[in-house]
Amino acid sequence: MEYQTLNNGVRMPLVGFGTFMLGGETCAAAVAQAIRAGYRMVDTAEAYGNEAAVGEGIRQSGVDRKELFLVTKVNFTSYEDAGQAVACSLAALGTDYVDLLLLHWPFANRYAAWRELEKAYAQGKARAIGVSNFEPDQLLDLIAYNGVAPAVNQVETNLYCQRVDDRAWMDKKGVAHMAYAPLGQGNRAQMFDEPAVRALAEKYEKTPAQVMLRYLTQKGATVIPRSVQPAHIQENLDIFDFSLTHAELATLADLDKHEPLIGKPEDPEFVEFSLTW
């Protein structure tokens, strides 16, 4: 495993296990499988409705909670009482702290919610706090008017949506980049079939998914791919035994379409869409 060090000194793995749209026994089994395979970071959220299942998966894995980096998020529908939402998440997960606590969306009363996250951080309920889906101007504003700067911004990032401009601001402010949907989501077949990706997969005897995940991690982003297939769970973790050259990184950088695959905050239906998260 490779790591990045957050702005408060906490170390975060560069690969974690995503749980979006997993639930019940399927979620618990997948989390347990991922942890046994070697993952040490698991990502969940209040809005996913699966925190209890994630907690059960951790218990089934047999790995001590202290060895894991656990991430959850407060949904914007809970921002008026974010402190209570944090308490509910901890209870569902079966832990008295998370390693990273995020605001899930830049909607509603995010400033009041952020101050509750600051309290949770001060009380030891979170080892680090951050945000998700924040655009650069929203991120800069939050930093300017609050006491604790976000340690992480989790945003959709993949081969077609590389977030180069966003990343420049995150780097400037010391905010770590976490990539959700690093392999796309739904509309992803074309990404896997890119000739440059296929050629590199053949060269390094890796899969297209491994090439794309390695690309993002070499760029310094933490990735949280999701799968319920044991072979894919293992495959997505086995990416640190090869490195892409500078020329190969540049070739993949040229495939950036600068366009999210999942949703755009400026779209009228985006808020309605995000409620399903």
252's CB contacts (< 8 A; 6+ apart) are 159, 196, 197, 200, 211, 212, 215, 244
* Largest pairwise CA distance in the chain: 52
Nearest to 160 by CA among 194, 133, 137: 194
Amino acid symbol at 255: L
**Residues 48, 160, 180, 215: which is the catalytic one?**
48
At 136, phi and psi to the nearest 5? Answer: -55, -45
Give me 134's structure tokens.
């924040």
CA distance 269 to 242: 41
Is residue 46 within 8 Å of 78, Cβ to Cβ? yes
Length of the chain: 277
Q: By the 8 A CB rule, do 25 and 35 touch?
A: no
- C-alpha 74/C-alpha 83 separation (Å) is 9
What token pair was written down for 120? Answer: 């949770």
CA 84 from centre of chain: 23
Identify whether the C-beta of residue 28 lies closer than 8 Å to the C-beta of residue 57: yes
Take residue 104 and report the two structure tokens written for it.
């899930």
> Residue 99's closest CA among 76, 121, 132, 114?
121
* 48 carries an active-site annotation: yes
CA 66 to CA 147: how far, in whole Å? 28
Give catalytic residue positions.
48
